Chains A and B, each alone.
Chain A
Amino acid sequence: MSPTIHALIAPLASTRVTPRGRVRPSARAIVRARARIPACRNNSRETTTATFNTPPLFNTALQHRSSTLAAAAPAVVVAAAVTAERSPVPIKTLILGVLFAGWYACNIVFNICNKQGAFYTKVFHPSPGFNI
């Protein structure tokens, strides 16, 4: 292990108190962070889906995956683990927030497309508001 990686891992060895006041073991945070890295996700789609969506109770592929991913890109894994550990907002929540924003934005863009269609044809549109 290179000194740089060791320096990055060292702070993670201890537990820390999260902003919400819970003590969280760092090892778990590292495993979670590994599961969230896009570069690692591309390695195996089906197990990624399982990691993302299946409760740990049914997740038989997690251990195997974590080990292969760690071998694939250790520096990225550690960097992401550090980010996940230090960030006040978990990455998972950020991704979800971006998706919600994209969901609403697509809907609004789509509605504007429709409205432009109506304006383009110069025909009065009878609908009172947006089609939601």
Chain B
Amino acid sequence: MNCFCMEFLQVLGAYPFPFTSTLWQFAAGVAFTALLQMTGIHRINKDALTMESLRAIAPLAIVHTLGNVLTNVSLGKVAVSFTHTIKAMEPFFSVLLSSLFLGDVPSVAVIATLVPIVGGVAAASVTEASFNWPGFLAAMGSNVTFQSRNVLSKKLIGGDGCSQACPAIPMDNIDLFSIITIMSLALTLPAAVVLEGVRFTPGAIAAYAASAGAAFSPAVIFQKAMIAGACFHMYQQISYMILARVSPVTHSVGNCVKRVVVISFSVLFFKNAVSPVNAVGTAAALGGVYAYTRVKRVERDAAAAKIE
């Protein structure tokens, strides 16, 4: 999972405010949502805004907020590559939580194909050892929270991998993710102010930049953060569109492939170094993904044949 602000402000040194970073992320997301709403590109379905549906979405906003904060905490504690090595374990968490909340227990064959995927992506993203417990636990915590969010969202939007009856909430995945983002901003704002103080005013940003010895103008930081934040929101929104169409486990496998694609892209275009361990890991992960899709297809065809 990304955290644009953390990444961006890391240029100043270790930016020690994970809640404020998360706040920026959500603010950009809400601005994006407001833009869609005002231009009419996508308006939130008003029928969806009942107390009942908002109560159903509130837990999702809480885990979404926690997941983003924990990722930012982890990135502040350990090297970026280490955080992503831990986050490669997402499919296992997805399997566990899907079986707990959706009653969707995958076959042994499916779980077996997840082993090379998880191991391979972990090996592909590892570049240095920088272990410490807070960083490790925060990354594991973000695995739990993000996969809970996906599985619980799946319960609301239904589809493949949701074998239980889903509550009928008249909203699509764009409505759902927009409302989650707005609620998350409302949750993060007081938490950031209480835990870290007011760090998001132009004066506070300028003071921090000066203390880090860099000549930043708050306007430049704001502009860059909003552009990156809009990309971030779009990328998460598309991930929700995919979640509406596939099971949470398949979604997490897709997220693993995303890590491999981005690593390969950075190797090809930015000439980042690649070690033999990274290369073998990439190959193992892609082999695992191929095996996963084959196993899923065979099982789906077998299930279809049984119904016919």
Contacts and interface: CB of A to CB of B under 8 A. Distances in A.
A109 B266 CA distance: 12
Interface stretch (B57-65, B106-114, B178-186, B257-265): B257-265
Nearest to A49: B172
Given A49-B172, A53-B158, A58 B165 contact: yes
B77 interface: no
Contacts of B265: 108, 130
B224 A113 contact: yes
Contacts of A132: 2, 84, 125, 258-259, 262-263
B36 interface: no
Contact residue range for chain B?
35 or more
A117 B224 contact: yes
A50 B158 contact: yes
A19 interface: no
A99 B245 contact: yes
A interface SS class: helix
B158 A54 contact: yes
Contact of A99 (B8, B12, B171, B242): B242
Nearest to A123: B11
Interface stretch (B134-142, B188-196, B197-205, B228-236): B228-236
Contact residue range for chain A?
35 or more
Contact of A128 (B2, B128, B242): B128
Contact of A103 (B4, B7, B80, B254): B254
B228 A113 contact: yes
Contacts of B241: 99
B238 interface: yes
A121 B7 CA distance: 13
Contacts of B238: 99, 102-103, 106
Interface string B150-166: 00000001111011011
Contacts of A131: 2-3, 7, 75, 80
Contact of B245 (A52, A109, A120): A52
Contacts of A48: 172
A66 interface: no
Nearest to A46: B170
Given A46-B45, A110-B231, A100 B242 contact: yes
B81 A128 contact: yes
B214 interface: yes
Given A103-B254, A118-B11, A132-B259, 8 more contacts: A49-B158, A50-B158, A110-B228, A123-B12, A128-B272, A129-B80, A129-B272, A131-B2
8 contacts: A46-B172, A49-B244, A103-B238, A110-B228, A114-B228, A117-B11, A117-B228, A129-B80
Interface of A: 20, 22, 45-46, 48-50, 52-55, 58, 92, 95-96, 99-100, 102-104, 106-111, 113-118, 120-121, 123-132
